[in-house]
Amino acid sequence: MRGLHAAAFGTLRPLSIMVEPVPVELDPPDLSRYAAGNSGIPYVMSFRASAPGPHVALNALMHGNEICGAIVLDHLLSENVRPVRGTLTFVFCNIEAYRGFDRANPTTSRYVDEDMNRVWDDGTLKSKRTSVELIRARALRPVFDTVDTLLDLHSMQDSSAPLILAGLPDKGVALARRIRSPEIIMCDRGHAAGPRLRDYAAFADPASPKTALLIECGQHWEKRTAAVAIAASYRFLAACGVLAPDKCRSVLDFTAPAQRVLAVTEAVTVTSDNFRFTVPYRGLEVIPKAGTEIARDGGRAVVTPYDDCVLVMPSLRLARGQTAVRLGRYTG
Ligand SMILES: [Zn+2]
């Protein structure tokens, strides 16, 4: 433990649990009936109400192995959920990666060529570079360019508490508070490897009313992750005013713990071919003392920069240039 005191890690699980494969409790839905879409783009379903209103979108499968989002959209479409005003769009995003989902090896279908949630900037999307993910992102761009409010559904490697990622502008936190759950609202500027859809164009502009949230609903394949995703999606749609409250009364009538804002101050980006965490963190550990070593990046010690530093979503994908972990503090 390199001098770290075990008490610093709170509810950290033992190593044996960290390395055991997580059983796939969720069933990936058959999405073939959405293949043609209904708006000219495959796997995009869009519905317009007669009453005017915002364009609200739910995005699933930015990462092909994060199947809770597909379950949500399939559920809402099966329930014939339609907007009472404005436009409601459901996007099955990285469908090529999802097609490769294999219960026996569920981690491999995150993407085909590259992480699709690192390509969302004008320069990358207009570049000559190509990949399975860029082709799909370019096809979806006209949709996202017209979206006023977006919820991007994700899940995590470890079963730490759900998070809602609100970005830096205040508008994200305000929307997250209207959804009332999850408890932790995380504010960060994203990844060095490239912008997320959540950070795309007007979504990241404090002067624009367009707002995007990314929700990490729980561990990728745990049953409860889908339940979190479905409830949060209903509350999001109700908060956006596109869903009549009586359609989702059961998920709106609940007592939620007060939300806390977790401000991410920096991302630790892998700079060597040998990055190792000092212990197997699962996320949301609070490290009491500044200067505590949390990882080795080649020969360099990675230490916490301040007291009560929170470790956010430590990654198992420790390749050079990728985000290893984000560091933050609770601000409210
Ligand atoms: Zn994801």
How many angstroms is it from 154 CA to the middle of ligand 1? Answer: 4
**Looking at the predicted structure, is the pLDDT value of residue 248 above 80?**
no
Average pLDDT of span 28-46: 97
- State the pLDDT at residue 101: 96
* pLDDT at residue number 31: 98
Tell how far the Cα of 50 is from the centroid of ligand 1, in angstroms: 34
Place of tokens 């965490």: 277
Identify the band that residue 9 occupies on the pLDDT scale cut at 50, 70 and 90. very low
Q: Transcribe 70-131 into DSSP letters.
A: HHHHHHHHHTT---SSSEEEEEE--HHHHHT--TTSGGGGS-SSS-GGG--SHHHHHSS---
| 217, two tokens | 């609903």
Residue 5 has pLDDT above 60, yes or no: no
User: Where does the pLDDT of residue 18 fall: very low under 50, low under 70, confident under 90, or very high at 90 and above?
Assistant: very low
Q: How far is the CA of 181 from the centre of ligand 1 (A)?
A: 18
Which conformational region is residue 50 in: left (phi greater than 0), alpha (psi within -120 to 50 degrees), or beta?
alpha
Q: With bands split at pLDDT 50, 70 and 90, how would you rate the model's confidence at 20?
A: low
State the distance from the centre of ligand 1 to the C-alpha of 5, rounded, in angstroms.
31
Higher pLDDT, 328 or 246: 328
Reading the block at residue 108, the tokens are 């491999």
Residue 117 Cα to ligand 1 middle (Å):
8
| CB proximity list for 38: less than 8 A, separation 6 or greater | 44, 45, 46, 47
Q: Please give the DSSP secondary-structure letter assigned to residue 206.
A: T
Residue 320 has which token pair?
């050079």
Distance from the alpha carbon of residue 63 to the mean position of ligand 1, in angstroms:
5
* 246 vs 204: which has the higher pLDDT: 204
Distance CA 74, CA 81 (A): 10
Tell me the Ramachandran region of residue 124: left when phi exceeds 0, alpha when psi lies from -120 to 50, beta otherwise: alpha
Indicate the pLDDT class of residue 136, thresholds 50, 70 and 90. Answer: very high
What letter would DSSP give residue 36? T
Q: Which residues contact 190 (CB under 8 A, 6 or more apart)?
A: 196, 198, 199, 267
Distances from the Cα of 288 to the Cαs of 46, 293, 303, 312, in angstroms? 48, 12, 12, 15
**pLDDT for residue 14:** 33
Dist. CA 56–CA 179, nearest whole Å: 14
Is the pLDDT reported for residue 16 higher than 70? Answer: no
Best mean pLDDT range from 44-53, 157-166, 311-320: 44-53
3-state secondary structure of 302: strand
What spacing in Å lies between the alpha carbon of 2 and ligand 1's midpoint?
31
Residues facing residue 89 across a β-bridge: 46, 57
d(CA 65, ligand 1 centre) in Å: 8
Q: Is the peptide bond before 182 cis (omega within 30 degrees of 0)?
A: yes
Mean pLDDT of the chain: 91
Q: Is the pLDDT of residue 4 over 50?
A: no
Residue 313 and residue 307: Cα distance in Å, rounded?
18
The pLDDT assigned to 239 comes to 93
Q: How confident is the model at residue 8 (pLDDT cuts 50, 70, 90)?
A: very low
